[in-house]
Chains A and B, each alone.
Chain A
Amino acid sequence: MSKQTSNKATAAIRASLKKRYARERRFQWYGRLAVLTGFVFLFILLADIVGKGWPAFTQHYIEVSVNLDPEVLGLPPNATREQMFTADYLGAIKSSLRAMFPEATGRKDKQQLYRLVSIGAEYDLRDRVLKEPQLIGHTSDIWLRAHAEAGSYLKGQVTAETAEADRRVKDQQMGWLDRLRADGRTESRFNTTFFTQGDSREPEMAGIRVALYGSFFTLLVTFAIAFPIGVAAAVYLEEFAPRNRLTDLIEININNLAAVPSIVFGLLGLAVFINFFELPRSAPVVGGIVLSLMTLPTIIITSRAAIQAVSPSIRQAALGVGASKLQTVVHHVLPVAMPGILTGSIIGMAQALGESAPLLMIGMVAFIMDVPAGVTDPATVLPVQIYLWADSPERGFTEKTSAAIMVLMGFLILMNALAVYLRKRFEMK
Chain B
Amino acid sequence: MERVEQQEPVAGSKGDAIRPPLDIQAHSEQKDYETIGTPFVTDPKMTARNVNVYYGDKQAITTISLDIGRNEVIAMIGPSGCGKSTFLRTLNRMNDIIPICRVEGEFCLDGDDIYADDQDTVLLRARVGMVFQKPNPFPKSIYENVAYGPKIHGLAHSKAELDEIVEDSLRRASLFNEVKDQLDKPGTGLSGGQQQRLCIARAIAVSPEVILMDEPCSALDPIATARIEELIDELKENYTIAIVTHSMQQAARVSQRTAYFHMGKLIEVGDTKQIFTMPKHELTENYITGRFG
Identify the A interface with B (CB < 8 A): 242-243, 311, 313-324, 327, 331-332, 335-336, 429
Closest chain A residue to B96 by CB distance? A319
Contact status B126-A315, CB under 8 Å: no
Enumerate chain A residues within 8 angstroms of B99, measured Cβ to Cβ. Answer: 242-243
| A332 contact set on B, CB distance < 8 A | 138
Out of A242, A243, A323, A429, which one reaches B122, CB within 8 Å?
Answer: A323
Knowing A313-B132, A313-B134, say if A321 contacts B140 (CB, 8 Å): no
Nearest CB of chain B from residue A158's CB, rounded to whole Å: 62
Query: Bound complex: CA of A322 vs CA of B207, how far in Å?
Result: 11
Most B-side CB within 10 Å, residue of A311, A315, A323: A323
B138's contact among A243, A317, A319, A322, by CB below 8 Å, is which? Answer: A317
Q: State in angstroms the CA–CA spacing of A321 and B203 once bound together.
A: 6
Is the CB–CB distance between A336 and B94 below 8 Å? no
Q: How far is the CB of B270 from chain A (nearest CB, A)?
A: 29
Q: Which of A311, A313, A321 contacts B202 (CB 8 A)?
A: A321
Tell me the complex Cα distance, A317–B146, Å. 12
Interface pair A429/B125, CB less than 8 Å apart: no
The CA-CA distance from A315 to B148 in the complex, in Å, is: 13
Chain B positions within 8 Å of A317 at CB level: 132, 136-138, 199, 202
**Bound-complex Cα distance A148 to B125 (A):** 75
Of the candidates B134, B138, B149, the one having the most CB atoms from chain A within 10 angstroms of its own CB is B138
Tell me the minimal C-beta distance from B199 to chain A in angstroms. 7
Q: Which residues of A contact B152 (CB under 8 A)?
A: 321-324, 327, 331
Minimum Cβ distance to chain A for residue B293 (Å): 25
CB closest chain-B residue, reference A243: B99
Cα separation A324 to B124 with both chains bound (whole Å): 11
B206 x A313 contact (CB < 8 A): no
Q: Is B123 in the interface zone, CB < 8 Å from A?
A: yes
Q: Are B139 and A321 in contact (CB under 8 A)?
A: no
Instruction: Please encode chain B, from 129 to 157, with 1 for each CB lying within 8 Å of some chain A CB and 0 for all others.
Output: 11110101111100000001100110000
Q: For the complex, what is the distance from the CA of A332 to the CA of B130, rounded to whole Å? A: 17
Report the separation of the CA atoms of residues A316 and B132 in the bound assembly, to the nearest whole angstrom: 8
Chain A residues with Cβ under 8 A from B134's Cβ? Answer: 313
Report the minimal beta-carbon distance from A243 to chain B, rounded to whole angstroms: 6
Is the beta-carbon distance between B94 and A321 smaller than 8 angstroms? no
Complexed CA–CA distance, A315 and B97 (Å): 10
Residues from 76 to 134 in B contacting A, C-beta threshold 8 Å: 92, 94, 97, 99, 121-126, 129-132, 134
B86 CB → nearest A CB, Å: 14
Residues of A contacting B130 in the complex (Cβ-Cβ under 8 angstroms): 316, 320
Q: Check A331/B122 contact, CB under 8 A, given A313-B136, A321-B129.
A: no
Q: Which residues of B contact A323 (CB under 8 A)?
A: 122, 148-149, 152
In the complex, A320 Cα to B122 Cα: how many Å?
A: 9
User: How close is B239's CB to chain A, nearest CB, in angstroms?
Assistant: 15
**CA–CA, A357 and B123, complex, Å:** 54
Say how far B156's CB is from chain A's closest CB, in angstroms: 14
User: Nearest chain A CB to B244's CB is how many angstroms away?
Assistant: 14
A320 engages B148 (CB within 8 Å): no
| CB pairs A–B below 8 angstroms (22 shown) | A242-B99, A313-B132, A313-B134, A314-B138, A317-B132, A317-B138, A317-B199, A317-B202, A319-B94, A320-B92, A320-B131, A320-B203, A321-B125, A321-B126, A321-B205, A322-B122, A322-B123, A322-B152, A323-B148, A323-B152, A332-B138, A429-B139
B139 touches A314 (CB 8 A): yes
CA distance A429 to B186 in the complex (A): 8
Q: Cα distance A313–B206 when bound, in Å?
A: 19
Residue of B94, B123, B139, B202 near A316 (CB, 8 A) is B94
Instruction: Given A314-B136, A331-B148, A429-B140, decide whether A319 and B97 contact each other with a Cβ distance below 8 A.
Output: yes
For A315, give the chain B residue with the smallest CB separation.
Answer: B97
**9 extra A-B contacts, CB within 8 A, seeds A321-B126, A321-B129, A322-B124:** A242-B99, A313-B132, A316-B136, A317-B132, A318-B148, A322-B123, A322-B206, A323-B149, A429-B139
Pair B149/A322 contact, Cβ less than 8 Å: yes
Supposing A314-B138, A314-B139, A429-B140 touch, asked if A324 and B122 sit within 8 A by C-beta, the answer is yes
CB distance from B243 to the nearest CB of A (A): 15
Which positions 53-67 of chain B face chain A at CB distance < 8 Å?
Answer: none
Q: Are A321 and B137 closer than 8 Å at their CB atoms?
A: no
Closest to A310 in B: B139
Q: Are A320 and B125 in contact (CB under 8 A)?
A: yes
Residue of A nearest to B141 (CB): A429
**Closest Cβ neighbor of A317 among chain B residues:** B136
